[in-house]
Chain A
Amino acid sequence: MPERKNVCIIAGDMSRWGVREASLVDVVQEAAKECFDDIPALNRKDIDGFLFASSYCGRNPFQVNAAPVMAERIGVKPINMCTRVDTLCAGGSSGIILATGLVKAGIADVVMVAGGEKLYTPQRWETFYSELASIDHDWDGAQGMGLPPPFFAMTAKEHMKHYGTKKEQLAVVSVKNRRNGATNPKAQFQKEITMEEAMAARPIVPPLGLFDCCPITDGAAAVIVTYPEKAKEFTDRPLVYIKGSAQAALHSMSANWPGEHLADWVHLRTAAKRAYEVAGVGPDDIDVAQTHDCFTISEIIEMEELGFCKKGEGGPFVESGQNDFGGKVPVNTEGGLLSVGHPFGATGIRQAIEMLKQLQGRATRQVEGAKTGLTHNLSGLNVEHTILIYGLEP
């Protein structure tokens, strides 16, 4: 089998995200159709690998071995690989990393990576019960942990205690991401909010209010991954290379947290160091980023651990607009999880699609001249961090 030096992402799009009157296969088919429409010269027969990222497919829609089900529904007949990937909130990014490996090794030539979830069902408790399955079930679950807000509220409190971060600085993140999402026709929330609304929102778990928390979402997304020579058969657009990646998991149970305190994300620092090393770039080279804003506090800490600002200075960094358009590194340029929503397995793919568009110069809210970009997911109750670095140069 041929070993290939470089791999790129050549097309992508997504279904409408939100509370959908549609099944999992329905939204996956919508996303695949939009993705194929993004690259008309590609024939579905060209897809020889298919990865499907989904975590709750075996819980709410009650569909295991989901990859062949989705492949048939979207009319692809992969002959080299057809399987599901589960890394909860990072599943889509895991799929893209795995597709990179498959293409590099010559195991597959043209891989579709799709991701999707159906989280709103008539039995709402199914989703809340499933949340308990996403952490250490036997011990953390038995205490009534499970829904993420309490954990990230603890994290926010720790960040406030150690670094003096203020509730207003959390609000700045939700206002920015809602503003970016307001022009995204696929987003769950397409409405801006004001600082006053963000500050006065009803508490979910103090200090986190309603707008500090991302929603759960029905939706899907899909991208195409291949190698440069093959890509040129289908597209004249600039090639967006996958320059490097990392995925770090240092612990699982809440009490075994690897950092000094809950606002010290050593596993993200570890993943960032590795991803920058593999890609041959540093934080100053990143022109645009999509980071995992499951909660406003997450984005603040991510700015620090990804090296965009010093540890502890995430609050002032976002408050002064350094991660907004015109700042040092615009982040979550199409709304992030806070605005677009969070169908777990699809989120990393949604980030890759925005990165593809940013680097090809066709994003709705374009960062002018962006050449290198970074996407990031945290998954589980902050037990794993996944990073991909994309660029116009391999």
Chain B
Amino acid sequence: MGFENFGSVSFTTEAKPVDFVTYLEQGKVMATRCKECGATYFPPKMDCPKCLQSDVEWFEIKGKGKLVTYTVVNYGPAGFEDDAPYILAIGDFGDGVNIFGRLSRGIKEDDIKLGMELKVAPKKLLGDRITFEFQKG
């Protein structure tokens, strides 16, 4: 399975880190680490922007992150109209891994606190589609 099934709306079908979607299917949210310089990347990158080498390894984002900031989207862009309202957020998972994604619909807006613990997990959508989301840590 490739990026054609990633997210609410597909924007890319051909991209090097295609294994990311396969890992999501297996229940894992993965990032990459450059074996040359040690830099970590989310979204995953198969070529390192820091040292420009291409020897990278995958690792799972298992630990807990912290909610950096969030916003409620009441009006979605084209393709996302039916999704709204939804909550976009940034989570800091340490080791250079900052993730931009959505908060689970299971988290009520009143319960959101900046700095609260999060985990990131795959999320199945309608059809064969799949993405990731933040859940309570």
Segment 145-186 of A: residues with Cβ below 8 Å from B: 145-147, 149-151, 153-154, 157-158, 161
| Chain A residues whose CB sits within 8 angstroms of the CB of B72 once the complex forms | 150, 153, 205-206
| Chain A residues whose CB sits within 8 angstroms of the CB of B74 once the complex forms | 203-205
- CB of A261 within 8 A of CB of B68, answer yes
Picked from A125, A129, A144, the residue with its CB within 8 Å of the CB of B73 is A144
- Chain A residue nearest to B79 in the complex (CB): A129
Binds A, one of B7-15, B22-30, B50-58: B7-15
Binds B, one of A249-257, A277-285, A295-303, A322-330: A249-257
Question: What is the distance, in angstroms, from A133's C-beta to the closest C-beta of chain B?
Answer: 9
B78 at the interface (CB under 8 A from A): yes
| Chain A residues whose CB sits within 8 angstroms of the CB of B11 once the complex forms | 132, 137-138, 141-142
What per-residue 1/0 map shows which CB atoms of B25-63 lie under 8 Å from chain A? 000000000000000001100000000000000000000
Picked from B69, B76, B114, the residue with its CB within 8 Å of the CB of A144 is B76
- CB of A157 within 8 A of CB of B78, answer no
Question: What is the distance, in angstroms, from A358's C-beta to the closest C-beta of chain B?
Answer: 36
Q: How far is the CA of A254 from the CA of B89 in the complex (A)?
A: 10
Question: What is the distance, in angstroms, from B113's C-beta to the closest C-beta of chain A?
Answer: 11
Q: How far is the CA of A257 from the CA of B79 in the complex (A)?
A: 26
Q: How far is the CA of A255 from the CA of B90 in the complex (A)?
A: 6
A132-B11, A137-B11, A255-B42 as given contacts; A143 in contact with B69, CB under 8 Å = no
- Chain A residue nearest to B6 in the complex (CB): A142
| Chain A residues whose CB sits within 8 angstroms of the CB of B71 once the complex forms | 150-151, 153-154, 157, 205
- Chain A residue nearest to B3 in the complex (CB): A138
B88 at the interface (CB under 8 A from A): yes
Picked from B15, B77, B86, B101, the residue with its CB within 8 Å of the CB of A132 is B77
| Chain A residues whose CB sits within 8 angstroms of the CB of B8 once the complex forms | 142, 144
A139 at the interface (CB under 8 A from B): yes
A234 at the interface (CB under 8 A from B): no
| Chain B residues whose CB sits within 8 angstroms of the CB of A139 once the complex forms | 43, 100
- Chain B residue nearest to A262 in the complex (CB): B69
- CB of B42 within 8 A of CB of A142, answer no
B66 at the interface (CB under 8 A from A): no
What DSSP secondary structure best describes chain A's contact surface? helix
Interface band, chain B: 35 or more
| Chain A residues whose CB sits within 8 angstroms of the CB of B86 once the complex forms | 144
- Chain B residue nearest to A140 in the complex (CB): B100
- CB of B42 within 8 A of CB of A143, answer no
A143-B100, A145-B100, A255-B42 as given contacts; A261 in contact with B79, CB under 8 Å = no
A26 at the interface (CB under 8 A from B): no
| Chain A residues whose CB sits within 8 angstroms of the CB of B100 once the complex forms | 139-140, 143, 145, 253-255
What per-residue 1/0 map shows which CB atoms of A256-268 lie under 8 Å from chain B? 1100011000000
Segment 63-107 of B: residues with Cβ below 8 Å from A: 68-80, 83-84, 86, 88, 90, 98-102
Q: How far is the CA of A255 from the CA of B93 in the complex (A)?
A: 11
| Chain B residues whose CB sits within 8 angstroms of the CB of A149 once the complex forms | 75
- Chain A residue nearest to B76 in the complex (CB): A144
A138-B15, A205-B71, A206-B72 as given contacts; A144 in contact with B99, CB under 8 Å = no
A144-B86, A256-B98 as given contacts; A131 in contact with B114, CB under 8 Å = no
- CB of A125 within 8 A of CB of B90, answer no
- Chain A residue nearest to B91 in the complex (CB): A255
- CB of A143 within 8 A of CB of B101, answer yes
- CB of B6 within 8 A of CB of A128, answer no
- CB of B90 within 8 A of CB of A254, answer yes
| Chain A residues whose CB sits within 8 angstroms of the CB of B69 once the complex forms | 154, 157-158, 261-262
| Chain B residues whose CB sits within 8 angstroms of the CB of A151 once the complex forms | 71
| Chain A residues whose CB sits within 8 angstroms of the CB of B101 once the complex forms | 143
- CB of B114 within 8 A of CB of A161, answer yes
- Chain A residue nearest to B77 in the complex (CB): A146
| Chain B residues whose CB sits within 8 angstroms of the CB of A141 once the complex forms | 7, 9, 11
| Chain B residues whose CB sits within 8 angstroms of the CB of A154 once the complex forms | 69-71, 88, 90
- CB of A145 within 8 A of CB of B88, answer yes
Q: How far is the CA of A373 from the CA of B74 in the complex (A)?
A: 38
Picked from A129, A153, A158, A206, the residue with its CB within 8 Å of the CB of B78 is A129
- CB of B78 within 8 A of CB of A144, answer no
